Structures are given as C-alpha cells and as structure tokens.
Amino acid sequence: MVTREGFPLAHFTLAGNTQDVETVEKIVQTVEQRYGRATGVWVMDRGMVSKEKLKFLSRPGRRYVIALRRTEIVRFQKHLGRKGWQGLKDRPEVEIKPVQRATVSYLLVRSRARRQKERAMRRRQHRALSDGLKRLAKRIAACRLKNRDKILECVGQLKGKNPKARQFVAINVTRRAPVRLEWSWHIDKFKAALRRDGVYVLRSNERWKAEEFWQTYMQLTVVERAFRVLKTELLLRPVWHHYSGRTEAHIFVCVLAYALWKTLDHLLKQAGLMTEIHKPDPERPNASPKPRPMTPEVVLREMSRLQIGDIELEATDGRKLALRRVARPTTEQGRILAALQIQLPERLSPDRIL
C-alpha cells in the first residue's frame, strides 16, 4: 500500500505456492477491514486479471487500474492508427490514447523502446524460421528426408523454437509422393502485429485524465523496482526461505529499500535536478540528447565513485597518526550534493594514534 506519491504505508506477505489471481479477494477484504475503502485505487498487473476478479473489483466503492493481457490488444486494432495519440511531458518516448466504452475506461499506451524490443525479437525469430524452412526444403529436395511424419516433426520443432513468428506463416507438407514442403507468409497479420508492437492496454472503472491514468498504473512498476533495488544496489540476491519469519524479514528489507529509493526520488524532483549533456552535436542539435530529470539510479551511480582515504603520518617518537578524510567531490557530485542540500563532512571519524 502506497500513497499517491508512492510512499509506502503498509505491506503484506502471503503463503507461497499460491496463484496471484487467487490472492485478490483476500488482500482487498483484509485492507478494507483494516483501513476502510476510503478513496484508494487497486493497481494490478496482468497476472491478477480474470472475469470474476473484475466483477469483484467493480462493486460500488472500489476503483481499479489494471493492465490487460496481450491478447486483448486485438480488440483495439482500429484505434492503433496515427491519430489521437498524445505524448507525455516527462516521457517523450511514450504516447497514450484514451478510449471510453460505456462505463469502462481504457488507455492505450505505446512505448518506443518496447516497440523496438518486440520488433527485434520477432525479426530474429522470423529470420530463424525462414532460414530453417529453406534448409528443410533443401533436405527434402535432395531426398535426404522422405518420411512425412519426420518432416512434420521437424516443422514442429521449428515452430516451437520461434513462437513469435509461427503465427505469420502457413506451412503445408504434401501427402502425395514426392513429398514437398510449401509455406506462405501472412502479410496482413504481420502488418497488424507491427501496429500492435510496443502497445499495452490499461483498464479502469473510473474516468481519469489520460496522463493521470498512466501515472497511477506506473506506480506499480515503481514498487516492483524495490525488489530490483534489493538485488542490484543492495546486492542481496533472493533465496528460498523455509520459515515465515525469514520471508517477512526479506520482504521488510525490500520495503525499506523501496522507501529510501522513493525518498531520494522525491528529493530529486523537489530540487528539479536535471542530467547534463556535456557534448551535444553542434551539427545536429535536434538529434542530440536532451536534459532529463535525474533518477535515483544516476545519483547512486555517481555518488558510488566518492572515495574515502586514510592518511598515516609518523611522529618523531615512532607513533603513527591515522587521518581518515573524505575526498573532494567531483563537479557532478558537488552539483548533486548542492541540489539535495547535503554538506559533505571533511572527516567521518576522529583522528587516531596507532
């Protein structure tokens, strides 16, 4: 449970070996009994969605924002044209488009980075499937493979290795001798898939402003980042726990990491700290990177380079004086510290005599 700004209020742990979708009613009812319905919004990902759960969440007094499964995008194919999309101020690579159907609000979201990733994956599998079919056809033509069942088995293996490309091809193995392998590509399906690339659909029973709709759902991804913070910044890898107390402790560390992460993010937004572009291309100013709001990832990466040094001085009587000093921050580190109103100490501990 988090505030509108994303700060954690409470968290729960459940027994293992339970499907996500089966936890919805239990969690909702527990929270409502403990805190009341108030004006909260339930934000869930695709794994929590089912017709029964949607009916449960649609009861009076409850609001939800959920992401629909990938197969649901086909229902919005006619809305994927060029018109009606609007960009986001803070995320120029993301475009959104609201769609209203009766009492249900939908938001189509299109991400440029996600589109490039999905197309690259399909392109790789399309090429692999095409090359595999050509090689199989050559084996058949050279009479190195004659049994039709064996040929069908090879075709099945190719489809299994390339699941993102198999829906765009029709493959036929003739029954009469000589056996031939024939295939044709569904160009219309391929073009329709290109329009769906990088798109996901959000659903809610509340009317939202388009940008607020998207930002509400994105809180879920920010919370999920706490687990990544645990694995990367804190270097605590997940382990299998055999006792409930250890599980709760592990999750508690996740929540603490998320709280610190969110606090730093909030301070950065308050300070209005932006990344600096040191070498813009004067010949292509429009293509050069633009300053963007600084993220906790960038701050932690930059501040991790801050060093502490020990200086040892030998006195005339043979004793040694140990001085622990903090290195002077770089220009970028100094800019971050000044924006966050943090004064770096000169020393972290009293001088010691060894």
Cα 40 from Cα 54, distance rounded (Å):
16
Terminal Cα-to-Cα distance of the chain (whole angstroms): 51
Burial 142-160 (b: 16+ CB within 10 A, else e): eeebeebeebeebbeebbe
Q: What is the CB neighbour count within 10 angstroms for residue 223? A: 19
Rama region for 99: left / alpha / beta (φ>0; ψ in -120 to 50; rest):
beta
Instruction: Assign 221 a pLDDT band (cuts: 50, 70, 90).
Output: confident
How is residue 87 written in tokens?
């960009």
Strand runs labelled E in 233-346: 308-314, 320-326
Cα 236 from Cα 226, distance rounded (Å):
12
Q: What is the mean pLDDT of residues 15-29?
A: 82
98, 210 contact by CB (below 8 A): yes
Q: Tell whether the model's pLDDT for residue 149 goes beyond 80.
A: yes
Query: Could you give the residue ranges of the DSSP H alpha helices within 91-209?
Result: 112-141, 148-161, 187-196
pLDDT tens-digit readout, 232-253: 666 666 667 778 888 888 888 8
pLDDT of amino acid 253: 83
Question: Tokens 């392109």 belong to which residue?
Answer: 123
**Rounded to two decimals, what is the model's pTM?**
0.72
Burial 267-284 (b: 16+ CB within 10 A, else e): bbeeeebeeeeeeeeeee
How is residue 299 written in tokens?
């701050």
Cα 5 from Cα 29, distance rounded (Å):
23
pLDDT tens-digit readout, 244-286: 888 888 888 888 888 888 899 999 999 999 888 767 667 776 7
